[in-house]
Amino acid sequence: MKSFNVGIIGATGMVGQRFTLLLSKHPWFNVVCVAASSRSAGKKLKDAVGEKWAMTQPMPEDIGNLVVLDAEKDIDKIAAQVDFVFCAVNMKKDEIKALEEKYAKAEVPVVSNNSAHRHTPDVPMVIPEINPEHIEIIASQRKRLGTKRGFIAVKSNCSLQSYVPALAPLMDEFKVTKALTCTYQAISGAGKTFATMPEIVDNVIPFIGGEEEKSEQEPLKIWGKIEGDEIVPATEPSITAQCLRVPVSDGHTAAVFASFEKKPTKEQILKAWAEFKGVPQELELPSAPKQFLHYFEEDNRPQAKLDRDLEGGMAVSIGRLREDTQYDYKFVCLSHNTLRGAAGGAVLLAELLAAKGYFDR
């Protein structure tokens, strides 16, 4: 694979910091520029981040020494240096929509962690193991934007990165008709640490703005089909969600209940999880976990602290599968919210796009 020059838009933030670590030794992607708000522009990244560095490993020195550009004012400067950008910014939704379209129209492909374009019908929202074929909609999007190379591709919300993969291998054969999920979400999902979110210590906060809607609706786009110039969302399964913030640094847990048109046996579910592979595993993409879904037999697993870093934080852990009195089955699953759920998921999506030629000139 040839190598590509990339920019990180939002490099000073929680997700941006993860990108610096994931990309510093990436075999295909070479970080040549970083950008953030005008508050950070002009400073070296390491100085702009300063005390906000929230990772356990140190910031990679070469990326830390890059001077931060202004994500809004320096688009042309950035476009001249990169083959594509990752974007993870904390701005109003309409501002993010406009910003990402400006990059795309400057012929810069955007791989985004932001929610702004997740429901734009010709923007693919991709979990690479589940709906890699949705990237084919990019041809329609380029037509609408009037671009040759530029486009926007997004990853889905972090809350659903454990239960959508767990349900996916059961969809075709057994048809999931309804699912109920309660998520227990880490504070890094809000861009916070225990130092910046002291109110979470010894506490559970039963509200995360917009999260329940995303958890219920985004899976339907992921399971949707391309029809003409848009992705038409699936109509089933019906999903209901409650999302709670819990005192965990990293790792979103979900307690899931599911019913099926054709109820599988427990052995059939375990076999489907054990055998599930996608395009990233077939193509051996650098960030793809070897085994995407890991089932734990122990009653007290998965645990955020013990299992979130499985396969570099890119695998999903599942446990406690058992029959339920009201739904067919219930189980618990876990994924790392800033790795598989954010920066890592975006890097894997970019690897898929690179392997399929979408960044070629």
Ligand X SMILES: NC(=O)c1ccc[n+]([C@@H]2O[C@H](COP(=O)([O-])OP(=O)(O)OC[C@H]3O[C@@H](n4cnc5c(N)ncnc54)[C@H](OP(=O)(O)O)[C@@H]3O)[C@@H](O)[C@H]2O)c1
Residues forming contacts to ligand X in the complex (CB under 6 A) are 10-16, 36-37, 39-40, 71-72, 88-91, 113-115, 158, 188-189, 191, 337-338, 341-342
User: CB 92 → ligand X: shortest distance, Å?
Assistant: 9
Q: Which is nearer to ligand X, 16 or 109 (CB)?
A: 16
> What phi and psi values does residue 3 have, to the nearest 5 degrees?
-105, 155
Measured from each CB, the residue nearest to ligand X is 13
202 — alpha (psi -120 to 50), left (phi > 0) or beta? Answer: left
Q: Which residues are catalytic?
A: 158, 252
The DSSP result for 221-248, as a single string, is HHT-EEETTEEEPP--SEEEEEEEE-S-
Query: Would you call 47 helix, strand, or coil by DSSP?
Result: helix
Q: Which is nearer to ligand X, 89 or 127 (CB)?
A: 89
User: CB 284 → ligand X: shortest distance, Å?
Assistant: 25
H or E segment to which residue 272 belongs = helix 266-275
User: CB 342 → ligand X: shortest distance, Å?
Assistant: 4
Q: Which is nearer to ligand X, 37 or 303 (CB)?
A: 37
User: CB 214 → ligand X: shortest distance, Å?
Assistant: 10
Q: Which is nearer to ligand X, 113 or 317 (CB)?
A: 113
Bridge partners, 182 (sequence order): 242, 255
Alpha-carbon dihedral of residues 82, 124, 339, 235, nearest 10 degrees? Answer: 170
Long-range contacts of 43-47 (CB under 8 A, 24+ apart): 43/67, 43/68, 44/68, 45/11, 45/12, 45/20
